[in-house]
Structure 1
Amino acid sequence: MVSRTHFQIFRRGSTTYFTSTLFFPQAIREDVFVLYSFVRTADDYVDAVPQQGEEFWAFCDTYRRALAGEPSGDVVIDHFVELMQRIKIKPEWVDGFLDSMGRDLHQNTYETIADLESYLYGSSEVVGMMMARVMSLPEESLPAARALGKSMQFINFIRDIDEDLAMGRTYFPQEDLAVFGLSGLESSVTRNRPDAFSQFIEYQVERYLSWQKQADDGFSFIPPRLRIPVRTASDMYQWTAEKIRRDPFVVYDHKVKPSAGRIVARACATTLGVHLSPADCAGETE
């Protein structure tokens, strides 16, 4: 049984994931709450202003002691360890996640796409594989689960350009900025080179779509009843991508994210077999 703590962490952390998750059957929904609360708590430590490095490393230590059999008394950690053991989440996946979160404490840029993908593996791909375990999907589904996690995280990078800059971070490869002749992604730079920035965003959205295509190939592994919330979340990230592609500079104006009402409407449409296409996204308005 999830606690009020899990509910509050999840609801505060993500409108898209929280609202989509409500469409899972109860048992799976509760497991998702436990999983999300763990990863969100770790992420919040490294994203705090100022960053809470000591608290993050203490969280990691407490998790590892709990995994070794010493209950922590922390419902986020203890429930997650129970979930790991029950559905066979691999400890190395969790280690990969915590490693990437730890990198956010000291690494602010990535030189190449290979460097960034190393970070993405721990920050998002392993979470996709954990979700596959939650839904009891076969091993063959894991490559697609990894791609879905990575593609969603990448849209967050695009959406949060301005927010990340405020924390001194630029997740996009420096080699990409060089290709488009951008010295940085600060508004003062990109507004002076609007065409270059628009082309840069188009390039990044296309990269997202290539990973999303890999993820789409794996939806056949998901039972129809469980496909609804996963497809809904995926569609809403596609909606976000298309909205930013049509107006790249919106990332400096506000955080592009669908409302709870839009997410519920999309889930209902998905239930009826209506799938969101790029054309559908382009036609939707706030």
Structure 2
Amino acid sequence: MVTPTHYRIFRHGSTTYFYSTLFFPRSVREDVFLLYSFVRTADDFVDAVPQQTAEYFAFKERYLGALEGEPGGDLVVDAFVDLMERKEIEPAWVEAFLRSMESDLWTATYATVADLEEYLYGSSEVVGLMMARVMGLSGDALEAARALGKAMQYINFIRDIAEDLTLGRTYFPQDELAAFGLSSLDPETAAAAPEAFASFVRAQVERYFRWQKEGEAGFAFIPFRYLVPVKTASDLYRWTAEEIQKDPFVVYRRKVKPSPLRAVGRACANTLVLTWPGRGETG
């Protein structure tokens, strides 16, 4: 059951996900709230300044206890474990997610894109897999769900370059930074080599677009009643990417995020487009 705690966590965590999720049917919407509250809570512990390491590991222990049938009275954890059982969410996916969250406690950089993709699998691809189970999608949709989750996480990395620097992290392959002649993504380094920085960021945006295209190929497997919110979230992330692509230095000035009005407007537009005569409903 969704409680005010779940609502608060989700409402304050993500404009894009929150307003897109409102367009799911109620039963799915509530399950998405439970899923997001769990992953956001873990993420908030490792992203806190200073990091809340003890709180994170206590949270993990409560999860492991609940998984073994010993609910600990944590609304977020207990509801999520119940969701896992109802929707057949694989414990291995949650394990991978927690492993990536823990890496944020001690890993600041990634040498290659292969190293980064190992982190991305746990931090975002498995969340896409969990969402696919929440929506009851077929196995045919799972690879696309992974790709879409990875794409959305990657544009967050690009958007949050400045914020992550304050946490001592850079979520981009160090060998690619070097290939563009950049020693770091510090504002001073970027200002000293503006063309190199802009080219680097646009190259990362292009990687996001490739992964997003792979993810959106899975839209064919999503029933109409679930497609509107999923497509809306994807559209809003594309808007974010396009804003950054036009002006890469915007990441140092502000956090590029769609407004609630844009989010709701996009969802309404998708509802109209996807129900246009001749298109029909899928599922």
The answer to whether TM tops 0.5 is yes
Could you tell me how far 1:3 is from its partner in structure 2? 0.4
1:166 maps to 2:166: yes
SS in 2 for 1:248: coil
- What does residue 57 of structure 2 align with? 57
* CA distance, structure 2, for counterparts of residue 44 and residue 216 of structure 1: 28
Per-residue displacement from partner, 1:237-278 (whole Å, max 9, x unpaired)? Answer: 00000000000000000000000000000001101117xxxx
- What amino acid maps onto 1:186 in structure 2? D
- What does residue 181 of structure 2 align with? 181
* CA distance, structure 2, for counterparts of residue 5 and residue 35 of structure 1: 13
Residue correspondence of structure 1 range 262-281 to structure 2 within 5 A: 262-273=262-273
- What does residue 135 of structure 1 align with? 135
Could you tell me how far 1:55 is from its partner in structure 2? 0.8
- What amino acid maps onto 1:50 in structure 2? P
TM-score normalised by structure 2 residue count: 0.96
Could you tell me how far 1:58 is from its partner in structure 2? 1.0
- What does residue 40 of structure 1 align with? 40
* CA distance, structure 2, for counterparts of residue 235 and residue 158 of structure 1: 16
SS in 2 for 1:264: helix
Could you tell me how far 1:202 is from its partner in structure 2? 1.1
1:122 maps to 2:128: no
Could you tell me how far 1:216 is from its partner in structure 2? 1.2
Per-residue displacement from partner, 1:164-218 (whole Å, max 9, x unpaired)? Answer: 0011000100011011000000000001111101110111011001101101110
- What does residue 89 of structure 1 align with? 89
- What does residue 79 of structure 2 align with? 79
- What does residue 104 of structure 2 align with? 104
Per-residue displacement from partner, 1:53-83 (whole Å, max 9, x unpaired)? Answer: 1111111111001000001101100000000
* CA distance, structure 2, for counterparts of residue 118 and residue 255 of structure 1: 26
Gaps of 5+ in 1: 275-286
- What amino acid maps onto 1:225 in structure 2? R
SS in 1 for 2:192: coil
* CA distance, structure 2, for counterparts of residue 75 and residue 151 of structure 1: 30
- What amino acid maps onto 2:69 in structure 1? G
- What does residue 279 of structure 2 align with? none
- What amino acid maps onto 1:51 in structure 2? Q
- What does residue 253 of structure 1 align with? 253
- What amino acid maps onto 2:253 in structure 1? D
* CA distance, structure 2, for counterparts of residue 177 and residue 151 of structure 1: 19
- What does residue 18 of structure 1 align with? 18
- What does residue 217 of structure 1 align with? 217
SS in 2 for 1:136: coil
Could you tell me how far 1:140 is from its partner in structure 2? 1.1
Task: Among all aligned residue pairs of Structure 1 and Structure 2, give the percentage whose two residues are the same amino acid.
Answer: 64
- What amino acid maps onto 2:4 in structure 1? R
* CA distance, structure 1, for counterparts of residue 202 and residue 253 of structure 2: 18
* CA distance, structure 1, for counterparts of residue 156 and residue 102 of structure 2: 18
- What amino acid maps onto 1:58 in structure 2? A
TM-score normalised by structure 1 residue count: 0.95
* CA distance, structure 1, for counterparts of residue 81 and residue 228 of structure 2: 27
SS in 2 for 1:273: helix
- What amino acid maps onto 2:57 in structure 1? W
* CA distance, structure 1, for counterparts of residue 62 and residue 191 of structure 2: 46
- What does residue 193 of structure 2 align with? 193
* CA distance, structure 2, for counterparts of residue 199 and residue 264 of structure 1: 32
Structure 1 runs, 4 residues or longer, greater than 6 Å off: none
Could you tell me how far 1:109 is from its partner in structure 2? 0.2
Could you tell me how far 1:225 is from its partner in structure 2? 1.3
- What does residue 150 of structure 2 align with? 150
* CA distance, structure 2, for counterparts of residue 167 and residue 79 of structure 1: 30
* CA distance, structure 1, for counterparts of residue 57 and residue 139 of structure 2: 31
* CA distance, structure 2, for counterparts of residue 112 and residue 54 of structure 1: 30
